[in-house]
Structure 1
């Protein structure tokens, strides 16, 4: 296989042997038949001490194999977080070479290695880097349906409008893949960052401390969530949820993405409920009282009877002040 003694020592994690060999070794970046250096093999095997000795001796940290794989990429694929951190600390190149199809962040997302994703983002890896198919890491996470990865990328402020080579945003990819929870998370993020941009001059970053785009299961919002569920399932007629969505400035793409998850003739009820929960998420992040706003907005949108029902339910069933999450 073209391995030298140094290759074999590094591959098997024999750091003492590596140390002895390096005392008189000439070319430390010898390539085997796969174009792998001893340093690459040490990283592939997860042998940090060997990798450190070889780097100190002058090994090339960014050399590519015949398959255009780098030491950082193989560490990511194998989920070796400590080695990824080690390589980042040694200033490994986070920008892929032109012949590489994916960035390190793409690979971490594809392999579902959340700690590695966080480590790369902490190292200022370009969160919006495009791979060979013009996909951002968010495109891949949305297609996989991994909520934890999507949450991390959304909170890190990735570009939500980037399109792949087919002209699809991450929202469209999630919708096409029938990942309803991911669709709702991305819409929440789009509306949140649009709101933040709109009120930049008066921005209040208190909400960022506990920012999340996942489903809300908190006890503080249980009653208002039930009221919104009742509104969607028992009071709104087909198409009326979309009228409300337009009133609340949901975009056409957002409405279509919600609607694409079809569950039957009465799926409009679930669509309406999801839209209302997304609206609630924005209200709470803006530190607004949702009960007060739902009544006022229903009236303005032409749903006076529904508004009265909501007010009656809120006055008999709860104290509206308890619905605002501060």
Structure 2
């Protein structure tokens, strides 16, 4: 609340006394003729201030001196709505007992139930549902949002549980066609989301832009919410009105953890949006390097897996398939070999020849090249390409040094291939270095 400039000095003093619960001062000002219902420039009275501050003594004093209980301020808030908004149950009971209008709404269409749900005041809700009559549990506000929409949007788990237990409808839509599921996912309230998922709502319900809860959680980077929805068997490949998948959204913002979850759920990494762009192209344009590399690794792996249908995916040399950057001790030596190869020995464009030899697509190569740091960017490009190549070799059970040798011979660099093989043979005196060879 804010004071206005339309009050007389005595009226301003009266408002200040109500704010401070100074009943003696209020009584003196009333004896001197101050108007108990004087309003400031946004139509707030002393009762508004006393209720908002939770001053029971001041509220009772004002009511005893004929304060108008139903007066609304310029936002449509009256004393009853303020009591619900700020969670002052005893004051709310007092206002109800003196005959305050129960069907009131503010200018946004929020009623008592909406205010309490929005702010998470469970005791207020219990009182409303148990002691007041003719309460419409699913009444919408001006945005067509019910109390459940508001509680879900603001993460008020206890309120959500109470409303669901009271029999509210779980899947109603607001003006933007969002359900409470959409709003909890977008806001990242994972416990609320889990509770709503457990009510068996349609996880693939779409809003007016064709977005599911998964799209909204992915766009905002809420990986825990993405996990809940995926565990609930939502459609990972659902597309919006603009053909955006959840991975497109993750790629736009560089949400690596979200992308990892989606990729592990076997999302179609080749899906294109209405502009014909894949998630890889979007991630590359946004310079989200880690995400670009993750998508390339996943794309290459799933294509390899498709070409080898008779291989049990759970037996890939006993390792968990991951598309994150490899930092394992057992691959440290081969990663060192790769780094030296890319930064010291490969000439410009030779990394591309190797990429083509190993069946990287033009889209993969273009995405890697999107990162530009000057004339020697090819060294970084080559290093990233080799790091994206390595996991596929290891997962398929091949010898990385042997594959490197064949690749280099294939692009006409037998000299370099022989040099790497000789160095590898010399290093094999160390069992740790030979672990992946």
The two structures have a TM-score, normalised by structure 1, of 0.92
Q: Take 2:311 and 2:303, find their aligned partners in 1: how far apart are those partners?
A: 14
Residue by residue, what CA displacement relative to the aligned partner does 1:212-241 show, whole Å, maximum 9, x if unpaired?
Answer: 111112221111111111111221111111
Alignment equivalent of 1:154, drawn from 246, 250, 263:
263
Q: Take 1:235 and 1:43, find their aligned partners in 2: how far apart are those partners?
A: 57
Alignment equivalent of 1:6, drawn from 113, 121, 134:
113
Describe the SS at the equivalent of 1:210: coil
Partner of 1:145: 254
Partner of 1:289: 399
Does the CA-based 8 Å contact 1:35-1:64 persist in structure 2? yes
Count of aligned residue pairs for this structure pair? 326
Where structure 2 has 5 or more consecutive residues not aligned to the other structure, the ranges are: 1-105
- Are 1:123 and 2:206 an aligned pair? no
Higher RCO (CA < 8 A, seq sep 6+): 1
Alignment equivalent of 1:200, drawn from 296, 309, 313:
309
Point out the structure with the larger helix share.
1
Moved more, 285-294 or 311-320: 311-320
Larger-Rg structure: 2
Q: Take 2:429 and 2:241, find their aligned partners in 1: how far apart are those partners?
A: 54
Describe the SS at the equivalent of 2:296: helix
- Are 1:280 and 2:387 an aligned pair? no
Q: Take 2:182 and 2:313, find their aligned partners in 1: how far apart are those partners?
A: 39
Does the CA-based 8 Å contact 1:221-1:323 persist in structure 2? no
Q: Take 1:255 and 1:319, find their aligned partners in 2: how far apart are those partners?
A: 36
- Are 1:190 and 2:305 an aligned pair? no
Residue by residue, what CA displacement relative to the aligned partner does 1:139-160 show, whole Å, maximum 9, x if unpaired?
Answer: 1111211221221111111101
Partner of 1:315: 425
Alignment equivalent of 1:258, drawn from 354, 368, 383:
368
Q: Take 1:283 and 1:260, find their aligned partners in 2: how far apart are those partners?
A: 25
Alignment equivalent of 1:36, drawn from 129, 142, 145:
145
Q: Take 1:76 and 1:14, find their aligned partners in 2: how far apart are those partners?
A: 22
- Are 1:179 and 2:288 an aligned pair? yes
Q: Take 1:28 and 1:204, find their aligned partners in 2: how far apart are those partners?
A: 50
Does the CA-based 8 Å contact 1:291-1:323 persist in structure 2? no
Where structure 1 has 5 or more consecutive residues not aligned to the other structure, the ranges are: none
- Are 1:77 and 2:186 an aligned pair? yes
Does the CA-based 8 Å contact 1:288-1:324 persist in structure 2? no
Does the CA-based 8 Å contact 1:223-1:318 persist in structure 2? no
Moved more, 57-66 or 135-144: 57-66
Does the CA-based 8 Å contact 1:34-1:65 persist in structure 2? yes
Q: Take 1:198 and 1:301, find their aligned partners in 2: how far apart are those partners?
A: 24
Partner of 1:15: 122
Does the CA-based 8 Å contact 2:211-2:240 persist in structure 1? yes
Moved more, 140-149 or 52-61: 52-61
Say if 1:319 and 1:106 are closer, same or farther in 2 by CA, change over 3 A: farther
Does the CA-based 8 Å contact 1:151-1:213 persist in structure 2? yes
Residue by residue, what CA displacement relative to the aligned partner does 1:263-297 show, whole Å, maximum 9, x if unpaired?
Answer: 11111111111111111111111122211222233
CA RMSD of aligned residues (A): 2.2
Say if 1:3 and 1:146 are closer, same or farther in 2 by CA, change over 3 A: closer
Q: Take 1:42 and 1:270, find their aligned partners in 2: how far apart are those partners?
A: 49
Describe the SS at the equivalent of 2:243: coil
Partner of 2:157: 48
Moved more, 179-188 or 295-304: 295-304
Residue 131 of structure 1 and its aligned partner are, at CA, apart by 1.8
Moved more, 105-114 or 16-25: 16-25
Describe the SS at the equivalent of 1:93: coil
Say if 1:12 and 1:204 are closer, same or farther in 2 by CA, change over 3 A: closer
Residue by residue, what CA displacement relative to the aligned partner does 1:26-59 show, whole Å, maximum 9, x if unpaired?
Answer: 5321122332222222323433333233223331
Q: Take 1:240 and 1:121, find their aligned partners in 2: how far apart are those partners?
A: 41
Describe the SS at the equivalent of 1:201: coil
Residue 170 of structure 1 and its aligned partner are, at CA, apart by 0.8
Does the CA-based 8 Å contact 2:176-2:207 persist in structure 1? no
